[in-house]
Chain A
């Protein structure tokens, strides 16, 4: 028989695992002749590609110039196109003398975003709420004008990055609440409401966005009397909000269904009403679970704003295309590739930012639990 243990063993630290750079390299890249071969091949590919990109984007690139003639070399990027036309890309067709109004909007937008990146202790929530309510109002007044003696600018003159950002933020901020209500409606016990929400979601999700946009812009005036009086831009916004809310609804439904039944029951047992239960108990948890899918949807909304080109608006991509067709810059295809590389970079910077922010949100929510 084994003796009974009378003294406890003190905890020890795990065996020390110092590898050193050489050992690490060997175990990760050169552990067998086959892995060594792969490492060498990949290294060769990366270096070749890297050298090509460096040469194309920097060494052989032309940075300044005023027309296609400035970029005769097809083996280098033509950034001159971007530096020559950047105002158009950033401000669209907004009147030149009113650029300051757009600048204030850009600054306010940056401040609003910054307010979400830092914590201010107890006032954090209030401050963010303040920024997010003030910003849309201020942005509207500044961009469109007609108030406080500001000169009116037609929404149809918005363009470039400005238009892309305006459409993206309106679509995202508008489709989140609408999507939330659709998701709640779809999970309702009342069959009429849940079916109605379900078919609404299925319809807008099932029809190509291009069809919806064209429908709203071209056909709405025919179906609805006086529909033509609603501004084209507003109609486009409504279309974006409506079809994106269908995706948002499914995102939130996923989040809501991840909440265990016990949470609903415990809230009900305490006597909370439906809306209090949703607002204080269920949605805060559901939102947290929805963050990855929510950001995924926001990223695709941001990229999809480019379909406004179809109804005659010039967002960032649209205005780049227009500029490529202008008589100064029409020419060899390497200007095309530079222009689209630039567009890709701009879109990527914004979407990558969103994705990084969502990572932060996820990490933060893990701390609480």
Chain B
């Protein structure tokens, strides 16, 4: 188990109205760990990672990120959010700003870096996701894969300690999935703490330290990727893997 926990869930519960989305979640994530979360739709995977930067608020239990407990103290929340990068299924780039401005705005307004310095940092990250030549374009002029790489670069610019990926390849055309996954594989190689909600089983197998399988708001199984894919312990995981791998 992790020696140096960076995220801790202790008996976390959450409801949407009467619907119990997260049920007694216990989870410890170590620094530099790469975790893939999978499970059927509606199982609470996205809600789980959205609780880490408090885009969703949990109702009972404790969540500790970077030694700070998430509660109603607003000061905490903003500082935690700037340490936790998040990439979304629908990219969510700011359409009224150029690619470069998308990367500068957070650094300038939250990290309070001067624009010039923020632009230099932005360019280095755009080079890393191999899209520096598009810096002056607007998001609407880019393909889905390019937009998602910009979104990853936007998060990385903030020099986060944790990166959350919420089904980042699900909205992409098939031929663009690889360019985004490649960037994520690179990032994993650098020791970033990553929580990845995905159905890309190939990615999970090669990159993850641990796979978490969720169903009906619970963590049903936690296992190493090889054990999980080749020999899942729970029946529900067996069914799920059967269905996901079926169409390959």
Contacts and interface: CB of A to CB of B under 8 A. Distances in A.
A277 to B, nearest CB: 9
11 contacts: A262-B90, A265-B88, A265-B92, A266-B92, A266-B151, A268-B55, A270-B106, A284-B96, A288-B96, A369-B96, A369-B140
A270 B88 CA distance: 12
A267 B158 CA distance: 12
B44 to A, nearest CB: 17
B105 A273 contact: no
Given A368-B138, A369-B138, A271 B110 contact: yes
A272 B94 contact: no
Nearest to B80: A271
Contacts of B138: 368-369
Given A280-B105, A369-B138, A369-B140, A270 B92 contact: no
A36 interface: no
Contacts of A288: 96
Interface string A243-273: 0000000000000000010110111111111
A288 B95 CA distance: 12
Interface size grouping (class) on chain A = 20 to 34
Given A265-B55, A270-B82, A285 B95 contact: yes
Nearest to B86: A269
Contacts of B236: none
Interface string B171-208: 00000000000000000000000000000000000000
Contacts of A265: 55, 86, 88, 92
A284 B97 CA distance: 10
Q: Residue among A263, A270, A272, A285 with the most chain B CB within 10 A? A: A270
Interface residues of B, number: 27
Contact of B158 (A270, A273, A281, A285): A270
A362 to B, nearest CB: 14
Nearest to A284: B96
Contacts of A268: 53, 55, 81
A29 to B, nearest CB: 40
A295 B155 CA distance: 37
A266 B88 contact: yes
B79 to A, nearest CB: 7
B96 A270 contact: no
B158 A271 contact: yes
Interface of B: 53, 55, 78-79, 81-82, 84-86, 88, 90-96, 105-106, 109-110, 138, 140, 151, 154-155, 158
Given A269-B86, A271-B106, A272-B110, 9 more contacts: A262-B91, A262-B92, A266-B92, A266-B94, A269-B85, A270-B81, A270-B158, A271-B158, A281-B105
Contact of B109 (A269, A272, A284, A368): A272
A125 interface: no
Contacts of A273: 78
Nearest to B108: A280
Nearest to A277: B109
Nearest to B91: A262
A315 B173 CA distance: 61
A274 to B, nearest CB: 9
Contacts of B88: 262, 265-266
